[in-house]
Amino acid sequence: MHTAIHKLLYSIANEHFEKYKYTSKKYNLLTDNNKQWDLLSHTKDENEQYFSLYSDKTKYAIITVVFLVMSIEGLINEYGLVYLGKSRFMELERESIREKLVTFFNEASGNKFPTDRKLYQSIKDLIDVRNTLVHSKSIEIDINVLLRTDVEAEEVFNGYINSIFGNGKRKSSRQKSMERVLESSHNVYIELMEYLQQNTGEK
């Protein structure tokens, strides 16, 4: 039985999103809904649990984002290949995935893809986060600063995370955070598939 590769990629993304939700729930319970964590006010075991949960939920979020984008790219490429044919598909191969989506949909359906709607914005946000993760530069971390005080450690650590998302000042990044994007866009693969099916004729 043939299964499209993008469906397999989505199943991996969905599996890790469930792990992300489960770990986030435990993290929120431990931190009283993500309040600032004071290392000095907790035991060694509690601090180890805190860092373990933070690491795990971040890891699951990253895996989910990467595989979600891969599944979306696979879906769009399959759509273009099926509806436009191999020759036309190859002509557009070097376009970005968002450019492909707009062009493929226009040529397959005769209509413009709604780039002003949440569906398109969600795709854009996910791709932006994926690109930031994949292309982020190495960041030097001063361990001595991180260990100096709990307040400063929290601020500096978050600064390093924000730096990955393109903010040199290491304060709040203008780009939407990975977890915020994930929470609002985790269903975008299904939503895109349904939209394409509903707005394009049978092939």
Q: What residues have CB less than 8 Å from 187, skipping those under 6 apart?
A: none
Per-residue pLDDT band for 152 (boundaries 50, 70, 90) equals low
Across 11-15, 117-121, 162-166, 191-195, least confident range: 162-166
Q: What is the DSSP string of 74-120?
A: HHHHHHHHHHHHHHHHHHTTTS-HHHHHHHHHHHHHSS---TTSHHH
Predicted confidence (pLDDT) per residue in 107-139, tens digit: 999 999 999 999 999 999 999 989 887 766 555
- Provide the residue count of the chain: 203
Per-residue pLDDT band for 187 (boundaries 50, 70, 90) equals very high
Residue 168 has pLDDT above 80, yes or no: no
Q: Could you give the 3-state DSSP secondary structure of residue 43?
A: coil
Q: Answer yes or no: are the C-beta atoms of 41 and 95 closer than 8 Å.
A: no
